[in-house]
C-alpha cells in the first residue's frame, strides 16, 4: 500500500518537473523572440534615420545644382582698355511712327496767337505722313559709364542726333552726371520721347514756350536724396541754342536749368510725383516771320533774356499695383515765362528797334484711363494766356499795334480726345480728335490716325 502511494507521488513529481521544464523552455523562447524583435526595431530605426538623412542631403545638393544651373554666368571682366563685350554688342531699338491727318485749316498758316513764332510747331501736314522715327544704340561702356545715341528721322527725310550722351553708373552718394546732347529735365513731359506720349502731339504750352521739346548740349548733374520720400535735385548748363534761346558766339555757360522732384506711394495702388523747374536763357536776334500793318511780309527779331519757371504733377493708380487690367494716370503742368529786352522791326528793311517785355503763362491737364487690357481713352485740355506785351516802338508812337498783330493779347486753347489700342507692348494704334483754337479767329478740327511700332531692345519709360 505504501509502495503504491510512493509510486503515485513519484509520478506526480515527475509530471510536475516535466511541466516546469517545458514552461521554462517556452519562457526562454519567448524572451529570445522579444529580444530579436527589439534588436530588429533598433536596426531598422537606425536605417530609417540614415535613409532620411541621405534623402535630405540629396535634396540640398539638387537645389544647389538647380540654382547654379539657372544663375547667369558672371560677365567677363572688362579689359584694361575699357569696353567689355557689350561695347561691341549694344542694345539696338527702332521706333517706326506714322499718321494720317485730316485738318480743317491749312497747316501752313498755323500760328499760336499772342506768342512769337519759334521752332517748327503745329499739327503737321495733311493726309498720310511718316512720323518721327528713331534709331537708338545704348550700352555700358565700362563699369563707370553708359553711352546712348538716338537718331531721329523726320517726315521730311531729315536726320539729326536727337540725343547723344554719356551717363555715369558708379558715382557715390546718389550722384549722377550726364553729358552731351539730351532732353532737359525741365518739367515732366520734356524728357519723354515722342513714341511714349499719351497723345500724338505736345501740349500747346510746350509748343509756345519750348518749341515743342527742349534739348541742350551740355552737362547735367542729379542728386537722389537718401530719404524714404523720393527727392531728386538737378542742375544743367549748356550752349543754349535751342528755342527760346539762340546760338551765341561766346564761351561759358549760355543756359541754366534747375529742377527738383518729389514723390511717394499712396497705399498699394497709387503713387504720385511733383516737380518745380526753372530755365534761364538768352536770345540774340531770335528772328521770326511777321507782317506789318499793310499785310506785307517782314522779318522781326528779339534780343534779350527768357526766363521760365514751371510746376508739374503726376498721379498714377492701378489696383494693387497691377496695371495690366486697369490703370489711370492724371498729369498736369503749369509754366510762366518772362521775356525782356529789345524787339527789332523789319530787320531787312527799316530795322527799327525798341524795348520789349512780356509776361505769359500756360497750362494743360490730362487724364488717361485704361478701361480694359490693351485699351485706353484719354482727354486733354490746353490753355495759354499771352498777356499784353510792352512794345517800346508802339509806346513811342513809331509804330502801331497793327504792325505787331501776332503779339496782340490772346488766350488760345485746345481740347483733345484720344482712343488707343496696344496689341502688345511693342505696337500701338491711336485715334485722336482735337478742337484747336490756337489761331486768333479760326477753329481747326483735327482728326489723326497714328501707328507706332517698336523693334529691338527698349528700356523702361519714365514714371
CA distance 369 to 383: 22
At residue 430, the 3 state secondary structure works out as strand
Q: Counting every residue, how long is the chain? A: 463
At residue 444, the 3 state secondary structure works out as strand
Beta strands in 249-326 (DSSP E): 255-266, 270-291, 297-317
CA distance 47 to 109: 94
**pTM metric for this prediction:** 0.79
- Match 522791326 to its residue by C-alpha cell: 345
What burial letters (b/e) apply to 92-124, b meaning 16+ CB within 10 Å? ebebbbbbebebebeeeebbbbbbbbbeebbbb
Report pLDDT for 66: 52
Q: Are 379 and 416 in contact (CB under 8 A)?
A: yes
CA distance 140 to 149: 12
At residue 448, the 3 state secondary structure works out as strand
CA distance 250 to 272: 41
Within 10 Å of residue 308's Cβ, how many Cβ atoms? Answer: 23
Q: List, for residues 184-210, the tens digit of each pLDDT value.
A: 999 999 999 999 999 999 999 999 999
CA distance 200 to 214: 17
Give long-range contacts, CB 8 A cutoff, 24+ apart: 348-355. 348/298, 348/299, 349/298, 352/393, 352/398, 352/399, 353/393, 354/391, 354/392, 354/393, 354/394, 354/395, 354/396, 354/398, 355/390, 355/391, 355/392
C-alpha cell read off for 363: 497750362
CA distance 261 to 232: 5
DSSP letter (8 states) at residue 462? P
What burial letters (b/e) apply to 402-419, b meaning 16+ CB within 10 Å? ebbebbeebebbbebebe
- Which of these, 215, 108, 107, 231, lies nearest to 162 by C-alpha position? 215
- Which of these, 118, 123, 124, lies nearest to 435 by C-alpha position? 123
At residue 385, the 3 state secondary structure works out as strand
CA distance 362 to 293: 28
Report pLDDT for 175: 95
C-alpha cell read off for 72: 547667369
- Which of these, 442, 426, 26, 367, lies nearest to 196 by C-alpha position? 426
Q: Which residues contact 403 (CB under 8 A, 6 or more apart)?
A: 292, 293, 345, 393, 394
Which residue numbers in the chain have pLDDT < 70?
Answer: 1-30, 33, 36, 38-45, 49-51, 56, 58-88, 459-460
Which residues partner with 369 through β-bridges?
328, 377
Amino acid at each position: 500500500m505504501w509502495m503504491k502511494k510512493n509510486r503515485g507521488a513519484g509520478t506526480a513529481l515527475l509530471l510536475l518537473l516535466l511541466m516546469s521544464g517545458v514552461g521554462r523552455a517556452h519562457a526562454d523562447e519567448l524572451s529570445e523572440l522579444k529580444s530579436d524583435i527589439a534588436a530588429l526595431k533598433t536596426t531598422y530605426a537606425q536605417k530609417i534615420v540614415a535613409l532620411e538623412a541621405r534623402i535630405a542631403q540629396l535634396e540640398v545638393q539638387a537645389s544647389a545644382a538647380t540654382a547654379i544651373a539657372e544663375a547667369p554666368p558672371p560677365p567677363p571682366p572688362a579689359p584694361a582698355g575699357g569696353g567689355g563685350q557689350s561695347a561691341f554688342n549694344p542694345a539696338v531699338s527702332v521706333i517706326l511712327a506714322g499718321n494720317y491727318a485730316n485738318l480743317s485749316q491749312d497747316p501752313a498758316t498755323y500760328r499760336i496767337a499772342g506768342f512769337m513764332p519759334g521752332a517748327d510747331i503745329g499739327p503737321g501736314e495733311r493726309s498720310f505722313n511718316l512720323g518721327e522715327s528713331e534709331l537708338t544704340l545704348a550700352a555700358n561702356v565700362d563699369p563707370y559709364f553708359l553711352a546712348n545715341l538716338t537718331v531721329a528721322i523726320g517726315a521730311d527725310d531729315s536726320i539729326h542726333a536727337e540725343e547723344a550722351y554719356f551717363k555715369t553708373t558708379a558715382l557715390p552718394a546718389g550722384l549722377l552726371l550726364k553729358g552731351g546732347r539730351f532732353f532737359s529735365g525741365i518739367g515732366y513731359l520734356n524728357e519723354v520721347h515722342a513714341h511714349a506720349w499719351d497723345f500724338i502731339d505736345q501740349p500747346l504750352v510746350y509748343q509756345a514756350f519750348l518749341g515743342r521739346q527742349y534739348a541742350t548740349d551740355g552737362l547735367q548733374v542729379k542728386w537722389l536724396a537718401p530719404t524714404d520720400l523720393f527727392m531728386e535735385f538737378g542742375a544743367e548748363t549748356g550752349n543754349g541754342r535751342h528755342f527760346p534761346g539762340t546760338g551765341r558766339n561766346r564761351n561759358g555757360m549760355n543756359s541754366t536749368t534747375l529742377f527738383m522732384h518729389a514723390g511717394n506711394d499712396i497705399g498699394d495702388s497709387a503713387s504720385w510725383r511733383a516737380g518745380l523747374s526753372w530755365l534761364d536763357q538768352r536770345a540774340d536776334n531770335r528772328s521770326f516771320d511777321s507782317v506789318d500793318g499793310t499785310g506785307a511780309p517782314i522779318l522781326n527779331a528779339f534780343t534779350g533774356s527768357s526766363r521760365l519757371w514751371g510746376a508739374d504733377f503726376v498721379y498714377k493708380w492701378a489696383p494693387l499695383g497691377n496695371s495690366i487690367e486697369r490703370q489711370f494716370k492724371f498729369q498736369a503742368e503749369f509754366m510762366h515765362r518772362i521775356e525782356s529786352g529789345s524787339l527789332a522791326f523789319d530787320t531787312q528793311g527799316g530795322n527799327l528797334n525798341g524795348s520789349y517785355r512780356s509776361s505769359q503763362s500756360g497750362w494743360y491737364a490730362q487724364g488717361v484711363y485704361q478701361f480694359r487690357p490693351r485699351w485706353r481713352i484719354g482727354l486733354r485740355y490746353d490753355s495759354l494766356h499771352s498777356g499784353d506785351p510792352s512794345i517800346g516802338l508802339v509806346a513811342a508812337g513809331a509804330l502801331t499795334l497793327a504792325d505787331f498783330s501776332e503779339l496782340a493779347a490772346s488766350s488760345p486753347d485746345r481740347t483733345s480726345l484720344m482712343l488707343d489700342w496696344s496689341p502688345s507692348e511693342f505696337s500701338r494704334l491711336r485715334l485722336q480728335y482735337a478742337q484747336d483754337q490756337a489761331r486768333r479767329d479760326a477753329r481747326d478740327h483735327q482728326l489723326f490716325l497714328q501707328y507706332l511700332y517698336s523693334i529691338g531692345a527698349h528700356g523702361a519709360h519714365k514714371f
